């Protein structure tokens, strides 16, 4: 697919719904061509969007991830922005009850997939001496929650990856930042009115966050005014932590 050399190209994993979908919509408003990798089928309302390229991909599977990355590299002159958003395993599972399969699926999606997709796309960013990598983390990375040993540790690893990679690639003009959402209400993270009220009591702003509020932070971080921000974890949690 030919994309104007003046138009930026962004890869967003897990872009079919939730925070990923909000990021996609924000990028489209900014006239960015968005390449989405998701295990879900393309949403009907995005199917005819000319500035979206959609790839059904399970990034926890290295063969699928590599095939996706190679196709993106072949079809586009460059990738300007990478958003590692795809994640799984937020449900509560106590360690004593956890299977090896659950642990591996969570870490292979949330951490390994992000690391190796970044590795595949990084060469082009280095050659172009520019690029922004945004890793979508979670307050679970530092806020202790029973039942979240797999999820929390995968997100903590993602933040360590962010800091170390930022130090590695800064000399090439590439920035790496983690965005750390708090309690965000999405299609898969729904709450009853009673649950919402209870959770809100622990948040300074006394409400849950919206996916578009995370997307706006990402929009800023990939923009030129954020050009001196790298290696940081930006917490967006309404003052919960």
Distance CA 38, CA 46 (A): 13
User: CB of 12 within 8 A of CB of 38?
Assistant: no
Around 190, how many Cα atoms within 13 Å sit in the side-chain half-sphere? 3
Task: Report pLDDT for 3.
Answer: 66
Distance CA 240, CA 182 (A): 7
- Phi first, then psi, for residue 108 (nearest 5°) are -70, -30
Q: Evaluate if pTM is beyond 0.75.
A: yes
Q: What is the dihedral of CA 57, 58, 61, 63, to 10 degrees?
A: -10
- Phi first, then psi, for residue 76 (nearest 5°) are -120, 145
Task: Report pLDDT for 233.
Answer: 98
Catalytic annotation, residues: 151
Structure tokens at 152: 């929390």
- Phi first, then psi, for residue 135 (nearest 5°) are -105, 120
Q: What is the pLDDT along the chain (241 residues), one digit of tens a residue?
A: 556 667 999 999 999 999 999 999 999 999 999 999 999 999 999 999 999 999 999 999 999 999 999 999 999 988 999 999 999 998 899 999 999 999 999 999 999 999 999 999 999 999 999 999 999 999 999 998 898 999 999 999 999 999 999 999 999 999 999 999 999 998 877 788 888 899 999 999 999 999 999 999 999 999 999 999 999 999 999 999 9
Please choose, from the candidates 181, 130, 137, 129, the residue with its C-alpha nearest in 3D space to the C-alpha of residue 155: 137
Distance CA 174, CA 123 (A): 11
All structural domains of the chain, each given as residue ranges with its CATH number in brackets, are 9-236 (3.40.50.720)
Radius of gyration of the chain (CA): 17
Structure tokens at 73: 């590299």
Query: What DSSP element (H or E) covers 87?
Result: none
Structure tokens at 4: 């104007």
- Phi first, then psi, for residue 131 (nearest 5°) are 150, 155
CA distances from 44 to 40, 57, 150, 222 (A): 12, 17, 33, 27
């Amino acid at each position: 697919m030919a994309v104007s050399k003046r138009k930026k190209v962004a890869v967003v994993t897990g872009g079919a719904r939730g925070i990923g979908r909000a990021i996609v919509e924000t990028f489209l408003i900014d006239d960015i061509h968005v390449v989405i990798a998701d295990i879900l089928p393309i949403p009907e309302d995005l199917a005819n969007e000319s500035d979206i390229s959609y790839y059904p991909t399970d990034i926890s599977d290295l063969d699928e991830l590599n095939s996706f990355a190679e196709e993106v590299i072949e079809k586009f002159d460059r990738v300007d922005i990478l958003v590692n958003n795809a994640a799984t395993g937020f449900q509560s599972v106590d360690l004593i009850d956890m299977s090896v399969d659950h642990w591996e699926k969570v870490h292979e999606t949330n951490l390994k997939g992000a690391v190796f997709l970044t590795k595949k796309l990084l060469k082009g960013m280095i050659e172009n001496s520019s690029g922004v990598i945004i890793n979508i983390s979670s307050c679970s990375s530092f806020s202790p929650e029973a039942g979240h040993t797999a999820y929390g540790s995968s997100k903590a690893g993602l933040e360590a990856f962010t800091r170390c990679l930022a130090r590695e690639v800064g000399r090439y003009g590439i920035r790496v930042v983690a965005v750390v959402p708090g309690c965000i209400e999405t299609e898969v993270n729904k709450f009853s009115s009673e649950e919402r009220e209870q959770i809100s009591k622990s948040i300074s702003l006394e409400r849950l966050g919206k996916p578009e509020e995370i997307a706006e932070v990402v929009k800023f971080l990939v923009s030129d005014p954020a050009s001196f921000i790298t290696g940081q974890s930006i917490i967006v949690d309404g003052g919960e932590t």
